[in-house]
Amino acid sequence: MKRFHDRLLLGAACIIIAAGCSKSLHNGGDGSSGAVGEHLESNIIYNGNISLYSFNRWPEYEERNNLIRSEIIRHIGVLGGIGSREAIWNSYGSVAPISYGEEFDFSYNDKVIAELEAAGLRYCLQIKVDALVVNPDDYGPVWRQNLEWYVGLIARRYGDAPLYYIPMNEPDNEGQRANGAPALTTEQIITVQKAVYETLKGYDPDIMVASSPVCLLEDTSEYDFTSSGRQVLMGGITEYCDYFAFHKHVDIGEDGRYSETKLWSLMDEAEAAGYPRRPALVNENGTWLTLGLVYPEATDEEKHRFKSYWVGNDLIQMKSLGLKYIVMYSLAGSLSQDGEYNIVDVDTQEGSGFKVAQQEYNAYLELWNPLAHRISKGINGGFEEANPDKSRGWVVSFRGRSFNGVGRAEPKEWDYVSIVDAGARSGNCCLEMRPIDFKPSASIDAGGITANRCRRLVEGLVPGHSYRVSAWVKLSVGNPDSPASVTLRAMGFHSYGKEKAEASTDFNWIVSEYERLDVTFTADNPWVVISLEHNGCGTVCWDDVAIAAL
Domain co-membership, 113 together with 255: yes
- Residue 359 falls within a domain, yes or no? no
Return phi, psi of residue 15, to 5°.
-80, 135
List Cβ neighbours of 265 (8 Å cut-off, separation of 6 or more). none
pLDDT, position 100: 98
Read off the CATH number of the domain in which 223 is found. 3.20.20.80
Q: Are residues 228 and 84 in the same domain?
A: yes
Q: Tell me if 455 sits within 8 A of 471, measured CB to CB.
A: no
Residues 280 and 400 in one domain: no
What is the domain range of residue 55? Answer: 41-285
Closest CA to 372 of 325, 312, 327: 312
User: Measuring CA to CA, how many Å separate 279 from each of 26, 130, 193, 430, 494?
Assistant: 27, 25, 17, 36, 9
Q: Count CA atoms within 13 Å of residue 196 on its CB side.
A: 29
198 and 86 inside one domain: yes
Whether residue 335 is contained in a domain is answered as no
DSSP conformation letters of 402-448:
PPTT---SS-GGGGGEEEESSS-SSSS-EEEE-------SSGGGTT-
Question: How far apart, in whole angstroms, are the C-alpha atoms of residue 182 and residue 184?
Answer: 6
Specify if 299 maps to a domain: no
Whether residue 324 lies inside any domain: the answer is no
Distance CA 540, CA 184 (A): 50
The yes-or-no verdict on residue 7 having pLDDT over 50 is no
> What pLDDT does residue 72 have?
96
Of the ranges 178-187, 225-234, 336-345, the best mean pLDDT one: 225-234
Are 105 and 99 in contact by the 8 Å Cβ rule? The answer is no
Q: Among 285, 303, 328, give the residue marking a domain's end.
A: 285
Please tell me whether residues 242 and 386 are part of one structural domain.
Answer: no
Are both 185 and 46 inside the same structural domain?
yes
Residue 3 lies in a domain: no
Separation of alpha carbons 363 and 307, rounded Å: 9
What is the value of pTM for the model shown? 0.92
* Residue that is last in its domain, among 285, 311, 346: 285
| Residue 46 in domain | yes
Same-domain pairing of 396 and 536: yes
Rounded to whole angstroms, how far apart are CA atoms 463 and 484? 35
Do 256 and 383 have their domain in common? no
Domain boundary among 250, 285, 320: 285
CA atoms in the 13 A half-sphere facing the CB of 124: 33
Distance of CA 217 to the CA centre of its chain: 14
Please enumerate in sequence order all residues whose Cβ is within 8 A of that of 180, keeping only pairs 6 or more positions apart, or say none: none
- Domain assignment present for residue 316? The answer is no
Tell me which range, 49-58, 262-271, 352-361, is most confidently predicted by mean pLDDT.
262-271
Domain count, the chain: 2
CA atoms lying within 13 Å on the CB side of residue 442: 7
Q: Among 311, 249, 321, which Cα is nearest to 531's?
A: 321
Residues 279 and 409 in one domain: no
Q: pLDDT tens digit string along 374-405?
A: 999 999 999 999 888 888 899 999 988 878 77
Distance CA 463, CA 461 (A): 6
Contact 136, 94 (CB under 8 A): no
Quote the CA–CA distance of 319 and 325 in Å, as a whole number: 9
Handedness of CA 386, 388, 392, 394 (dihedral sign): positive
168-202 confidence digits (pLDDT tens): 999 999 988 877 789 999 999 999 999 999 999 99
What's the average model confidence in pLDDT over 411-430?
A: 96
pLDDT tens track for 146-173: 999 999 999 999 999 999 999 999 999 9
Domain co-membership, 382 together with 482? yes
Residue 425's CB is within 10 A of a number of other CB atoms, namely 16
Annotate 139-208 with DSSP letters as a single string: SSHHHHHHHHHHHHHHHHHHTT-SS-EES-S-TT-GGGSGGGPPPPPHHHHHHHHHHHHHHHHHH-TT--
- Indicate the SS3 state at residue 210: strand
Q: pLDDT tens across 241-281, in order? A: 999 999 998 888 898 888 899 999 999 999 999 999 999 99
C-alpha of 399 from chain center: 15
Strands 417-420 and 395-396: unpaired
pLDDT tens for each residue of 441-499? 777 777 889 999 999 999 999 999 999 999 999 999 999 999 999 999 999 999 999 88
Rounded to a whole number of angstroms, the CA Rg of the chain reads: 24
Read off the CATH number of the domain in which 421 is found: 2.60.120.260
Encode pLDDT of 515-537 as tens digits: 999 999 999 999 999 999 999 99
Whether residue 272 is found in the same domain as residue 414: no
Given a cut of 70, is residue 10 above it in pLDDT? Answer: no
User: Does a structural domain hold residue 34?
Assistant: no
